[in-house]
Amino acid sequence: MKKDSQQNGRRDFLKKSALLAAAGLASGSILTGVASAKNIPGEILPANTEGKFSLPALPYAYDALEPHIDKTTMEIHHTKHHQAYVNNLNKACEEGKIDASLDDIIKNISKYPMAVRNNGGGHWNHSFFWKLMKANGGGAPSGKVAEAINGSFGSFDEMKNKFNDAAKSRFGSGWAWLIDKNGKLEIGSTPNQDNPLMDISDLKGKPILSVDVWEHAYYLKYQNKRADYVTAWWNLVNWEEVAKNL
Ligand code: MN3
Protein backbone atom coordinates (compact mmCIF):
# COMPACT_ATOMS: atom_id res chain seq x y z
CA MET A 1 0.00 0.00 0.00
CA LYS A 2 2.77 2.39 0.99
CA LYS A 3 4.58 1.72 -2.28
CA ASP A 4 1.38 2.46 -4.25
CA SER A 5 0.90 5.84 -2.63
CA GLN A 6 4.57 6.69 -3.21
CA GLN A 7 4.15 5.81 -6.84
CA ASN A 8 1.00 7.92 -7.07
CA GLY A 9 2.83 10.78 -5.46
CA ARG A 10 5.64 10.48 -7.97
CA ARG A 11 3.19 10.24 -10.85
CA ASP A 12 1.46 13.44 -9.63
CA PHE A 13 4.82 15.13 -9.35
CA LEU A 14 5.75 14.14 -12.91
CA LYS A 15 2.37 15.31 -14.19
CA LYS A 16 2.76 18.66 -12.45
CA SER A 17 6.32 19.05 -13.78
CA ALA A 18 5.12 18.37 -17.32
CA LEU A 19 2.35 20.97 -16.92
CA LEU A 20 4.78 23.54 -15.57
CA ALA A 21 7.19 22.87 -18.42
CA ALA A 22 4.36 23.24 -20.94
CA ALA A 23 3.26 26.49 -19.28
CA GLY A 24 6.84 27.76 -19.46
CA LEU A 25 7.05 26.94 -23.13
CA ALA A 26 3.69 28.56 -23.84
CA SER A 27 4.61 31.82 -22.12
CA GLY A 28 8.08 31.69 -23.69
CA SER A 29 6.57 31.91 -27.14
CA ILE A 30 4.76 35.15 -26.37
CA LEU A 31 7.68 36.62 -24.47
CA THR A 32 9.84 36.74 -27.56
CA GLY A 33 11.21 40.21 -27.89
CA VAL A 34 11.21 41.22 -24.24
CA ALA A 35 14.27 43.36 -24.00
CA SER A 36 15.88 41.49 -21.16
CA ALA A 37 18.69 39.02 -21.41
CA LYS A 38 17.93 37.87 -17.88
CA ASN A 39 14.22 37.32 -18.38
CA ILE A 40 13.30 33.68 -18.01
CA PRO A 41 9.98 32.70 -19.63
CA GLY A 42 7.34 32.28 -16.97
CA GLU A 43 9.27 34.24 -14.36
CA ILE A 44 7.54 37.14 -12.64
CA LEU A 45 10.07 39.91 -12.54
CA PRO A 46 10.45 41.61 -9.17
CA ALA A 47 9.14 45.14 -8.93
CA ASN A 48 11.98 47.63 -9.15
CA THR A 49 11.95 49.81 -6.07
CA GLU A 50 15.44 51.30 -6.37
CA GLY A 51 15.53 52.71 -9.88
CA LYS A 52 14.46 56.13 -11.03
CA PHE A 53 11.59 54.91 -13.19
CA SER A 54 8.77 52.74 -11.90
CA LEU A 55 5.86 50.73 -13.27
CA PRO A 56 2.65 52.79 -13.25
CA ALA A 57 -0.44 51.04 -11.87
CA LEU A 58 -3.12 50.28 -14.45
CA PRO A 59 -6.19 52.53 -14.15
CA TYR A 60 -8.41 49.39 -14.15
CA ALA A 61 -8.32 45.72 -13.10
CA TYR A 62 -6.56 43.13 -15.26
CA ASP A 63 -9.91 41.60 -16.26
CA ALA A 64 -11.62 44.96 -16.94
CA LEU A 65 -11.00 44.86 -20.69
CA GLU A 66 -12.51 41.41 -21.24
CA PRO A 67 -13.73 40.00 -23.53
CA HIS A 68 -11.70 42.15 -25.95
CA ILE A 69 -8.36 41.72 -24.15
CA ASP A 70 -8.16 38.84 -21.70
CA LYS A 71 -7.00 39.06 -18.09
CA THR A 72 -3.90 36.87 -18.53
CA THR A 73 -2.63 38.91 -21.48
CA MET A 74 -3.08 42.14 -19.51
CA GLU A 75 -1.37 40.72 -16.44
CA ILE A 76 1.65 39.40 -18.38
CA HIS A 77 1.83 42.52 -20.53
CA HIS A 78 1.88 44.81 -17.49
CA THR A 79 3.78 42.83 -14.83
CA LYS A 80 6.33 41.19 -17.10
CA HIS A 81 6.76 43.14 -20.33
CA HIS A 82 6.28 46.68 -19.09
CA GLN A 83 8.12 45.89 -15.85
CA ALA A 84 11.05 44.54 -17.87
CA TYR A 85 11.27 47.79 -19.87
CA VAL A 86 11.29 49.76 -16.60
CA ASN A 87 13.93 47.54 -15.00
CA ASN A 88 16.17 47.58 -18.06
CA LEU A 89 15.77 51.33 -18.53
CA ASN A 90 16.84 51.87 -14.92
CA LYS A 91 19.82 49.58 -15.44
CA ALA A 92 20.86 51.33 -18.65
CA CYS A 93 20.51 54.78 -17.04
CA GLU A 94 22.55 53.69 -14.05
CA GLU A 95 25.28 52.22 -16.25
CA GLY A 96 25.33 55.22 -18.56
CA LYS A 97 25.01 57.73 -15.69
CA ILE A 98 21.92 59.18 -17.39
CA ASP A 99 19.87 61.53 -15.24
CA ALA A 100 17.48 63.14 -17.76
CA SER A 101 13.69 62.89 -17.56
CA LEU A 102 11.94 60.30 -19.72
CA ASP A 103 10.49 63.02 -21.98
CA ASP A 104 13.96 64.52 -22.53
CA ILE A 105 15.46 61.10 -23.19
CA ILE A 106 12.76 60.29 -25.78
CA LYS A 107 13.11 63.66 -27.59
CA ASN A 108 16.90 63.25 -27.85
CA ILE A 109 16.98 59.49 -28.24
CA SER A 110 19.67 59.56 -30.95
CA LYS A 111 22.18 60.53 -28.24
CA TYR A 112 21.54 57.42 -26.18
CA PRO A 113 22.49 53.74 -26.46
CA MET A 114 20.09 51.24 -28.05
CA ALA A 115 19.12 49.80 -24.64
CA VAL A 116 17.79 53.23 -23.64
CA ARG A 117 15.93 53.60 -26.95
CA ASN A 118 14.25 50.18 -26.68
CA ASN A 119 13.45 50.27 -22.98
CA GLY A 120 12.78 54.01 -22.67
CA GLY A 121 10.44 53.72 -25.65
CA GLY A 122 8.84 50.63 -24.14
CA HIS A 123 8.21 52.47 -20.86
CA TRP A 124 6.86 55.61 -22.54
CA ASN A 125 4.67 53.76 -25.06
CA HIS A 126 3.05 51.40 -22.56
CA SER A 127 2.43 54.17 -20.00
CA PHE A 128 0.65 56.07 -22.79
CA PHE A 129 -1.22 53.02 -24.10
CA TRP A 130 -2.79 51.78 -20.83
CA LYS A 131 -4.62 55.06 -20.32
CA LEU A 132 -6.08 54.97 -23.83
CA MET A 133 -8.27 52.00 -22.91
CA LYS A 134 -11.11 51.50 -20.47
CA ALA A 135 -13.95 49.10 -19.76
CA ASN A 136 -17.00 49.98 -21.86
CA GLY A 137 -15.00 52.37 -24.00
CA GLY A 138 -15.26 52.59 -27.76
CA GLY A 139 -18.07 54.08 -29.78
CA ALA A 140 -17.44 57.22 -31.77
CA PRO A 141 -15.53 60.29 -30.61
CA SER A 142 -17.36 63.56 -29.99
CA GLY A 143 -16.54 67.26 -29.55
CA LYS A 144 -13.11 68.52 -30.54
CA VAL A 145 -11.77 65.01 -31.22
CA ALA A 146 -14.58 64.33 -33.72
CA GLU A 147 -14.00 67.75 -35.32
CA ALA A 148 -10.26 67.17 -35.66
CA ILE A 149 -10.79 63.70 -37.13
CA ASN A 150 -13.43 64.88 -39.59
CA GLY A 151 -11.25 67.86 -40.55
CA SER A 152 -8.22 65.68 -41.29
CA PHE A 153 -9.78 62.48 -42.67
CA GLY A 154 -13.30 63.40 -43.75
CA SER A 155 -14.94 60.94 -41.37
CA PHE A 156 -14.32 58.74 -38.34
CA ASP A 157 -14.71 55.61 -40.52
CA GLU A 158 -12.01 56.84 -42.88
CA MET A 159 -9.65 57.51 -39.97
CA LYS A 160 -10.38 54.05 -38.55
CA ASN A 161 -9.66 52.38 -41.90
CA LYS A 162 -6.33 54.18 -42.20
CA PHE A 163 -5.41 53.38 -38.60
CA ASN A 164 -6.34 49.71 -39.06
CA ASP A 165 -4.21 49.57 -42.21
CA ALA A 166 -1.25 51.06 -40.35
CA ALA A 167 -1.67 48.52 -37.52
CA LYS A 168 -2.02 45.58 -39.90
CA SER A 169 0.79 46.54 -42.25
CA ARG A 170 3.44 47.21 -39.61
CA PHE A 171 5.82 44.31 -40.28
CA GLY A 172 6.88 42.52 -37.10
CA SER A 173 6.61 44.34 -33.79
CA GLY A 174 5.62 47.96 -33.36
CA TRP A 175 2.89 50.51 -32.84
CA ALA A 176 0.24 52.28 -34.93
CA TRP A 177 -0.31 55.95 -34.14
CA LEU A 178 -2.70 58.82 -34.63
CA ILE A 179 -0.58 61.96 -34.29
CA ASP A 180 -1.03 65.71 -34.39
CA LYS A 181 1.40 67.21 -36.87
CA ASN A 182 1.23 71.00 -36.86
CA GLY A 183 -2.51 71.04 -36.22
CA LYS A 184 -3.37 68.28 -38.69
CA LEU A 185 -3.97 64.68 -37.69
CA GLU A 186 -1.94 61.96 -39.41
CA ILE A 187 -1.63 58.19 -39.13
CA GLY A 188 1.43 55.98 -39.30
CA SER A 189 3.37 53.30 -37.48
CA THR A 190 6.74 52.83 -35.82
CA PRO A 191 8.90 49.70 -35.43
CA ASN A 192 9.87 48.07 -32.12
CA GLN A 193 9.41 50.56 -29.26
CA ASP A 194 10.09 53.70 -31.28
CA ASN A 195 7.52 56.51 -31.11
CA PRO A 196 6.70 59.75 -32.97
CA LEU A 197 8.39 61.92 -30.31
CA MET A 198 11.80 60.38 -30.99
CA ASP A 199 14.25 62.44 -33.05
CA ILE A 200 15.18 59.33 -35.06
CA SER A 201 11.59 58.50 -36.04
CA ASP A 202 10.37 58.76 -39.65
CA LEU A 203 6.88 59.44 -38.24
CA LYS A 204 7.04 62.64 -36.20
CA GLY A 205 4.29 64.41 -34.28
CA LYS A 206 2.39 64.56 -31.01
CA PRO A 207 0.87 61.16 -30.09
CA ILE A 208 -2.92 61.26 -29.74
CA LEU A 209 -3.89 57.58 -29.92
CA SER A 210 -1.91 54.37 -30.34
CA VAL A 211 -2.22 50.61 -30.36
CA ASP A 212 0.45 48.07 -29.43
CA VAL A 213 0.75 45.52 -32.24
CA TRP A 214 3.49 43.39 -30.70
CA GLU A 215 2.35 39.75 -30.59
CA HIS A 216 2.55 39.80 -26.77
CA ALA A 217 -0.38 42.25 -26.80
CA TYR A 218 -2.80 39.79 -28.40
CA TYR A 219 -1.33 36.34 -29.10
CA LEU A 220 -3.00 34.34 -26.29
CA LYS A 221 -6.51 35.22 -27.46
CA TYR A 222 -6.06 36.09 -31.14
CA GLN A 223 -2.93 34.11 -32.15
CA ASN A 224 -1.88 35.31 -35.63
CA LYS A 225 -5.09 37.31 -36.20
CA ARG A 226 -3.80 40.81 -35.53
CA ALA A 227 -6.68 42.37 -37.52
CA ASP A 228 -9.26 40.75 -35.20
CA TYR A 229 -7.42 42.12 -32.15
CA VAL A 230 -7.37 45.64 -33.59
CA THR A 231 -11.07 45.43 -34.51
CA ALA A 232 -11.91 44.35 -30.94
CA TRP A 233 -9.56 46.98 -29.48
CA TRP A 234 -11.74 49.83 -30.83
CA ASN A 235 -14.36 48.76 -28.24
CA LEU A 236 -11.95 49.84 -25.50
CA VAL A 237 -10.83 53.27 -26.68
CA ASN A 238 -11.08 55.90 -23.95
CA TRP A 239 -12.08 58.97 -25.97
CA GLU A 240 -11.88 61.30 -22.93
CA GLU A 241 -8.20 60.39 -22.69
CA VAL A 242 -7.75 60.90 -26.44
CA ALA A 243 -9.26 64.40 -26.00
CA LYS A 244 -6.67 65.18 -23.32
CA ASN A 245 -3.88 64.25 -25.74
CA LEU A 246 -5.20 66.53 -28.46
MN1 MN3 B 1 3.54 45.75 -25.39
The domain total for the chain is 1
Q: What is the pLDDT of residue 82?
A: 98
**Cα 123 to ligand 1 centroid, rounded to whole Å:** 9
Question: What's the start-to-end Cα distance of the chain, in Å?
Answer: 73
Tell me if 59 is assigned to some domain. no
**Cα 118 to ligand 1 centroid, rounded to whole Å:** 12
Q: What is the pLDDT of residue 50?
A: 63
**Cα 125 to ligand 1 centroid, rounded to whole Å:** 8
b/e map 63-90, b = 16+ CB within 10 Å: ebbeebbbeebbebbbbbbbbbbbbbbb
Tell me if 47 is assigned to some domain. no
**Cα 216 to ligand 1 centroid, rounded to whole Å:** 6
Tell me if 215 is assigned to some domain. yes
Range of the domain at 244: 69-246
Q: In whole angstroms, what is the distance from residue 201 CA to residue 205 CA?
A: 10
Tell me if 41 is assigned to some domain. no
**Cα 76 to ligand 1 centroid, rounded to whole Å:** 10
Tell me if 7 is assigned to some domain. no
Instruction: Tell me the H-state helices in 64-154.
Output: 71-76, 83-95, 102-107, 114-131, 143-153
211: domain CATH number?
3.55.40.20
Q: In whole angstroms, what is the distance from residue 75 CA to residue 230 CA?
A: 19
Which residues in the chain come in under a pLDDT of 50? 1-46, 48
Please count the other Cβ atoms lying within 10 Å of the Cβ belonging to residue 201.
Answer: 19
**Cα 185 to ligand 1 centroid, rounded to whole Å:** 24
Tell me if 79 is assigned to some domain. yes
Q: What is the pLDDT of residue 51?
A: 78
**Cα 214 to ligand 1 centroid, rounded to whole Å:** 6
Q: What is the pLDDT of residue 35?
A: 35
Q: What is the pLDDT of residue 36?
A: 35
**Cα 31 to ligand 1 centroid, rounded to whole Å:** 10
Tell me if 111 is assigned to some domain. yes
Tell me if 92 is assigned to some domain. yes
Q: What is the pLDDT of residue 202?
A: 97
**Cα 62 to ligand 1 centroid, rounded to whole Å:** 15
**Cα 94 to ligand 1 centroid, rounded to whole Å:** 24
**Cα 18 to ligand 1 centroid, rounded to whole Å:** 29
Rounded to 5 degrees, what angle do the CA atoms 27, 93, 244 make?
Answer: 75
